[in-house]
Every structure is written in C-alpha cells, then in structure tokens.
Structure 1
Amino acid sequence: MAPRPEVTPVRPPTRGVGGRALRRALSAALLVLGLGALGGCAGVGYYAQAVRGHLDLLVAARPIDDWLADPATPPALRQRLRLAQAMRAFAVEALALPDNASYHRYADLHRPYAVWNLVAAPPDSLTLKTWCFPVVGCVGYRGYFAEADAQQEARTVAAEGLEVDVYGVPAYSTLGRLNWLGGDPLLSTFALGHEGDLARLMFHELAHQVLYVEGDTAFNESFASAVERAGVARWLAAHGSEAARASWARAQAQREAFAALTRATRADLAAVFEENTRNSSAKRSVAAMKNEVMATFRQRYAALKAGWRDPAARWDGYDAWVAKANNASFGALGAYDDLRPGFEALLAREGGGATPAQWRSFYDAVRRLAALPQGERHAALKALAAAPKES
C-alpha cells in the first residue's frame, strides 16, 4: 500500500457525539451490544478496551460537512471527503445499500489501522479457533484497538499449541446497531488510499448492514466481499477516471492471481491434513508434508511476483503476508474467499447488479440462503460456483 498522507489533527467535534457524559451513558449499552466483532465472551479487561476504543473513535469523528467548511482542512482531504460523499450516495442509489447515518462523519485515527485482529488455528487444520460474542455469535477472530494487546493475547493463544496471526484491519462494522449514535464513521485508515480501496471498504462494511448471519464468518465475509468487488467495478465504470480504472485493473489482476495461488495452497494443505486424519501412520510425516506445501507456495509466489513488472503496480504488497503465512492466516483468508464465487454467481443469476432492483433481488436471494442451516447454505453456494456459466 502507498504511504498514508498526513492530515491535520482532529479538533473536538462541533456537534454530534462526544464528552464524558456520552462515555458514561453508552458504556453499558456498548457492553451489551458487544461492539459487533469486538465484543465477546471475555474478561472485563477485554470489554473495557473494546468500549474505550470505540468511544474514542466516535468522539474523534466530525460530520463531513464540518470538515468541508473548516478552512484548515487540507485541499487533498477536502477532495477525498467530497469523493466519499459521492460514493455514499452511489451506494444507496446504485447498489441499494442502506441509507442511514453511517459514513457521513470522518475521523483521523493517527494510526495505520482501526483495529488489529487475532486469528488462530491448530497446526494440523485450517479451521479457525472461534470466540463467541453476545450479538454476532461465534466468529473466527478477535479484535483489539491496540496492536500490543492483540500481540499479547496471541502469545497466550500460541502457548496453547495453536498457530496465530495478528493483522491490521482498516475498518470494521457495528452492523448498523449503532446508527442511533451516528453510525460507522469514515476513517483515515481507509479513506486516503486508492479511490477503489475507499469504495470497496465502504461497500463491504455497508453490506454487513444488509445481512449478517450469526456465527457464520465465511458466509458474512464472502457476501460482503462479493458486494464490494461488484460495487467497485460499477463505481469506477460510472465515475472513475481512466487512470483510476487502469491502476485498479492492474491491482485486481494481481489480487486474482494471488487469490488463485492461495486457494490452491489451501486445497493442498487441506489434503495433507485430511490424509493425516485418515491414515494414522501419516502423523509422523504431516509436518514435513506441510512444510513442502508451504515451500512450494513461496516458490510459486516468487514466480508470480517476478511477472509483475509494471513499476506502477503494487507488486510487493503481499510479501509480509507470505513471509509469515501459516494455518491461521490461510484460514482467515479463506473466510473472505471460499464462498465468494458462489455469491458472485448468484448476483449474476439475479441480473448482475446493473440496476438497484437487481441488487435488491440479489439481497433477497441471499436472505433466503441465510435462512438455511449452515451446511446447506454453504453447499448451495458451492453448487452455484460450480454450475456452468450461462453464455
């Protein structure tokens, strides 16, 4: 990713949320809500950091109109906030995403990520450890507002014999449950990069407000990923500059190539672990076979990266992930990718999203899937992905 441009420090909000009274009044409510993916069956300390972190974010947020009216707002930020307003309107008018309080305020967090997620998996499985939350059910990650806190918990989980990964997250959703507080704000952690990244994160998080199935991370994230990808394509086609479309196309081609590589590697790892389950004599060699798969993955990545010759492309953006890849990171990636092709096939079946009516039809179809038992809904999505494409 390109370096994040500097912006002016955040001033106290001129209206909306803020102040000690707000903190006292909302702490109990946020504890009950569990902050979506940030709450959970955890100790008081975990809840305290979740409540404190989210309230700090709310206090920092100011209405976008205030930023635009402030003569101290840098021109580059002013331009980006106007672009965000246009994207927010597009989300409602073209993608039939919720028209509510979210993304009408902006906060500079003065850090690279909104939260840091911890994921964990056994050495012989890609199945993520789950944490159970009072609102969203059991999910395969746990979020922290400070990286040090996430790393500290990662060390505790690793001591249990699990492989762990901690990664930064530029945005998260409160699932629309805090729209009465002003909703989820636009954040400096995702607002100031590529135009396509701003659009995709906004569309992704708004998709969570359309539908969220308790306890099914793969379904929820794959659905939101499908919405973001199709939404960005439509935004750039309608409003993006030629340069923005070209740079995004390059980035998307690399994402697709990397996704194909990691998908194949997950399949190879799953085969090793399945053989380990079926054949007890394989237990002695599972670690060696897994190491071979990982070595092959890194060799294939090096070959893939060597083909990314365009100096304008973000060709080294996956290096850090590849260097530390393990079962936990592969399992987390699968949550966003494994079911996405099924959702994309479903969107195509409902017309492709060329009109708001088609998007609403798609959302209704997804809701029908969500009503099925988890195994059935996953099987239906995999069948949709495997079905021949209509010519």
Structure 2
Amino acid sequence: MKSRFGKIIKRVLLALLLVVAILLVVFWDLVSYGVRQGYGQLNIVWNARPVEEFMADPSFPDSLKARLRLIDEVRKYAIDSLGLKDTENYKTLYDQKGKEVMWVVLAAEPFKLKPKEWKFPVIGSVPYKGFFNQKLAFNLKKELEGEGYDVIVRNPGGWSTLGWFTDPILSKMLSRSEGDLANLIIHEMSHATIFVKDSVDFNENLATFIGDRGAEKFLIYKYGRDSKEYTTYIDEDKDYLKYVDHMLRGAHLLDSLYSGMHESDPLEKKKEIKQAAIQKIIDNLDTLSLALTKNPSQRFKDKLPNNAYFMNFRQYQSKQNIFGEEWSTVFHGDLRAYILHLSEKYPFL
C-alpha cells in the first residue's frame, strides 16, 4: 500500500515538474526579465542607506541635507493632508554616483499613434518596458526599430514598485527644485495609493494630476503664495502646460494624417509626409509664449521626435482636463476628498 502511494506521489511530483519545465520554456522571456528586474531593484534597495546616516554624516553637504528634510516634509504632507498611503518609501537614499540607474523603452507603430504593449502578471498590459541595464534597453530599442516601430528610451526621475519593495530616494532627485521634487515624490506616492490594472494611461495621468496639484498645495503650505519657490514652480508649470498642449495638438494632427494613409501608399512617400508634419509641429513650438524658454524647437535641431515621443504625452497628460473638471466641480478643489473618492472607487490592483 505504501509502495503504491509512494508511486502516486512520485508521478504527481514528476507531472508538476514537467508542467513547471514547460511553463519556463514557454514564458522564459518573461521569467528571465522578471528575475533581472527583481535583481536590479533589490540591488538598489539593498545598497540604499537610511536617511538618518546621511543626516549624521558631517561630510554630506548641508544643501543636500536640506533636500532630504524637504522630502520628509513632502512625504508627511502627502500622507496627512492629501491622504496618500503611508509606506516605508523614501526613508532611505541610494547614491547613484552621478549615473543613471533605469532606462524605459517606449515604442509606437510607425503610422499610427498606437503603443507597443507588454503583458505582466498582476499589473497587466503596459506600454513600456523598464530596465536596470542600459545595454539591454538599447538592445530592445534596436530590435523594435528593426521591426519597424518608432522607439524612444528615457530615464525616469523615479519609479514606484507598487509596494513590492521599499522605494528609496535616488541621489539625482536632490538636484531638483523644491516644486519639481515635491511633484515627483507625490506622483510616485500616488501610484502606491491608486493603481488600476491594465490602465496605464489612467494611472499615469492621475499620478501626474495629483503630483501637479499636490505639489502646488504643498508649496503654498510651506512657503506661501508670494514665495520664490511657489512662483517659480507656477511659472515652470505654465510653460510646461503650453508645451504639453502643443504636443497633444500635434498628436491629434498626426492621428488625422495617419488615418488618411492607406496600406497601398508607397512607404517612402508616407515617411516623407510624416517627417514634414512632425517638422511643422516642431517649428511651431517657437510661436509659444514661454516665460522661461526661448526657441524651444532647438532641442530637436539634431533629431526630430517620433510617434513614441507623442504617445508619451498622451500617457501622462491627455486626461488632465477630465480630472481637473471633476476635482473642481464635484469636489470643489478638495484634493484630499478627491483622492479618497478615487481610492474607494478603484481598489488598489
């Protein structure tokens, strides 16, 4: 009897091992990617040191200590006044030593503002892929370009692990202005509070909205409406919003252009029409009345942006008016009440 039972157990175990082996073969790319991502994030988390150690270090610059105190104030304000989730995030600091630590690859179809998506467990489909290894990011960029996609690689100022790890402060964050730093921290804390599966556009647009409005409220709370910190942030925000609106209009123009193209149209002709349209969008940047930047088109003098660049603005900015309207009319500008409403409406993951 025992011998028979043992044979059954052995067969079950062998069957399970076979299933695992098959799954590893079928999903090897996803498994290996997940392992690399986990290692990259753990490496940063493991090597991050408690903020208290830097504050007690006499060789650590006073100007950077002031930034660490500011992050702590922003964090507490976001929890106490905005109702964002209290976590262990931003209590440690990782020294990047002046180097980038993460690269994000975004891709879009060449004649349609449609992103390339990757599917992952828990969070669902996302229109980007992150790496903690520069070579792997640019290898993917090259591969996708070979498949005909428009691709960009960008370095995010921060990221949220959605509670899987404790997110550290990255040393490059400390070079940001007061408003920009507050915005970034509140943006990432928003992801740890409200994150809807398979809804990256919603998640990023909402975190952008909460980051923008939350930073504005924090600066008023800490420095006052007449402060340099607040007025600088508002001037930068006004310029950026004009830039964003221009790029969103450009995305709409490209949508219209691509919808008029046909599969039978010559490829070179379509490329020529596309380039001319993007060039016009960029040239018209210089017609914007920006307070802090002159001739913004110059940033693209060596290379024009592509569809992935325009898609990025949609992912982060296209729903700002929707959130703003609901916040102001239904919640009468009460950001805490709005965040509470959204967190109840959209349970985390």
Is the contact made by 2:104 and 2:156 (CA closer than 8 Å) also made in structure 1?
A: yes
CA 280–320 in structure 1, closer or farther in 2 if over 3 Å, else same? same
Q: Give the corresponding residue for 2:7.
A: none
Q: Give the corresponding residue for 2:276.
A: 292
Specify the SS of the correspondent of 2:119.
strand
Q: Give the corresponding residue for 1:90.
A: 77
Q: Is 2:275 the counterpart of 1:275?
A: no
- Aligned partner of 2:79: which letter? V
Q: Distance in 2 between matches of 1:260 and 1:134?
A: 34
Q: Distance in 2 between matches of 1:350 and 1:209?
A: 24
Q: Give the corresponding residue for 1:106.
A: 93
CA 125–173 in structure 1, closer or farther in 2 if over 3 Å, else same? same
Q: Distance in 2 between matches of 1:167 and 1:329?
A: 10
For residues 326-372 of structure 1, the C-alpha deviation after alignment (integer angstroms, 9 at most, x for no partner) is 0111112210011222122222234245363443134435x28x99x
Q: Is 2:127 the counterpart of 1:140?
A: yes
For residues 243-278 of structure 1, the C-alpha deviation after alignment (integer angstroms, 9 at most, x for no partner) is 11121122111101101110110000000111225x
For residues 151-176 of structure 1, the C-alpha deviation after alignment (integer angstroms, 9 at most, x for no partner) is 12100111111111111111111112
Q: Give the corresponding residue for 1:235.
A: 218
Q: Distance in 2 between matches of 1:360 and 1:80?
A: 28
Shift of 1:196: 1.1
CA 76–317 in structure 1, closer or farther in 2 if over 3 Å, else same? farther
- Aligned partner of 2:74: which letter? M
Q: Is 2:175 the counterpart of 1:192?
A: yes
Specify the SS of the correspondent of 2:261.
helix
Specify the SS of the correspondent of 1:301.
helix
- Aligned partner of 1:156: which letter? E
> Structure 2 regions of 5+ residues with no counterpart?
1-26
Q: Distance in 2 between matches of 1:42 and 1:318?
A: 39
Q: Give the corresponding residue for 1:255.
A: 240
Q: Distance in 2 between matches of 1:177 and 1:221?
A: 18
Q: Give the corresponding residue for 1:158.
A: 145
Q: Distance in 1 between matches of 2:335 and 2:316?
A: 25
Q: Distance in 2 between matches of 1:349 and 1:102?
A: 33
| CA RMSD between the two structures | 2.6
Specify the SS of the correspondent of 2:153.
strand
> Structure 1 regions of 5+ residues with no counterpart?
1-39, 372-391
Where in structure 2 are the equivalents of 1:242-391 lying within 5 Å? 242-276=227-261, 285-304=269-288, 307-308=289-290, 313=292, 319-320=298-299, 323-354=303-334, 356-365=336-345, 367=346
Q: Give the corresponding residue for 2:202.
A: 219
TM-score normalised by L of structure 2: 0.83
Is the contact made by 1:212 and 1:220 (CA closer than 8 Å) also made in structure 2?
A: yes
Q: Distance in 1 between matches of 2:162 and 2:257?
A: 37
Q: Distance in 1 between matches of 2:80 and 2:28?
A: 38
- Aligned partner of 1:329: which letter? Y
Q: Distance in 1 between matches of 2:268 and 2:153?
A: 29
Q: Distance in 2 between matches of 1:260 and 1:41?
A: 41
- Aligned partner of 1:260: which letter? D
Q: Give the corresponding residue for 2:118.
A: 131
Q: Give the corresponding residue for 1:387.
A: none
Is the contact made by 2:109 and 2:149 (CA closer than 8 Å) also made in structure 1?
A: yes
CA 253–343 in structure 1, closer or farther in 2 if over 3 Å, else same? same
- Aligned partner of 1:117: which letter? V
- Aligned partner of 2:257: which letter? V
Q: Distance in 2 between matches of 1:315 and 1:75?
A: 33
CA 84–317 in structure 1, closer or farther in 2 if over 3 Å, else same? farther
Specify the SS of the correspondent of 1:169.
coil
Q: Give the corresponding residue for 1:118.
A: 105
Q: Distance in 2 between matches of 1:355 and 1:302?
A: 35
> Given the alignment, which residue of 171, 183, 187 partners 2:158?
171
Q: Distance in 2 between matches of 1:263 and 1:340?
A: 12
For residues 290-313 of structure 1, the C-alpha deviation after alignment (integer angstroms, 9 at most, x for no partner) is 223212111111333xx44x5xx3
For residues 197-256 of structure 1, the C-alpha deviation after alignment (integer angstroms, 9 at most, x for no partner) is 111111111111112122221111011111101101101111136111121122111101
Q: Give the corresponding residue for 1:34.
A: none
Q: Is 2:60 the counterpart of 1:73?
A: yes
Is the contact made by 1:222 and 1:336 (CA closer than 8 Å) also made in structure 2?
A: yes
Shift of 1:114: 3.8
Q: Distance in 2 between matches of 1:52 and 1:340?
A: 35
Specify the SS of the correspondent of 1:250.
helix
Q: Distance in 1 between matches of 2:85 and 2:95?
A: 24
Is the contact made by 2:102 and 2:132 (CA closer than 8 Å) also made in structure 1?
A: yes
CA 285–355 in structure 1, closer or farther in 2 if over 3 Å, else same? closer
CA 316–63 in structure 1, closer or farther in 2 if over 3 Å, else same? farther
Identity within the alignment, %: 25
Larger radius of gyration: 2
Q: Is 2:34 the counterpart of 1:50?
A: no
Q: Distance in 2 between matches of 1:109 and 1:139?
A: 26
- Aligned partner of 2:278: which letter? M
Specify the SS of the correspondent of 2:105.
strand
For residues 11-56 of structure 1, the C-alpha deviation after alignment (integer angstroms, 9 at most, x for no partner) is xxxxxxxxxxxxxxxxxxxxxxxxxxxxx97356534432232122
Is the contact made by 1:119 and 1:142 (CA closer than 8 Å) also made in structure 2?
A: yes
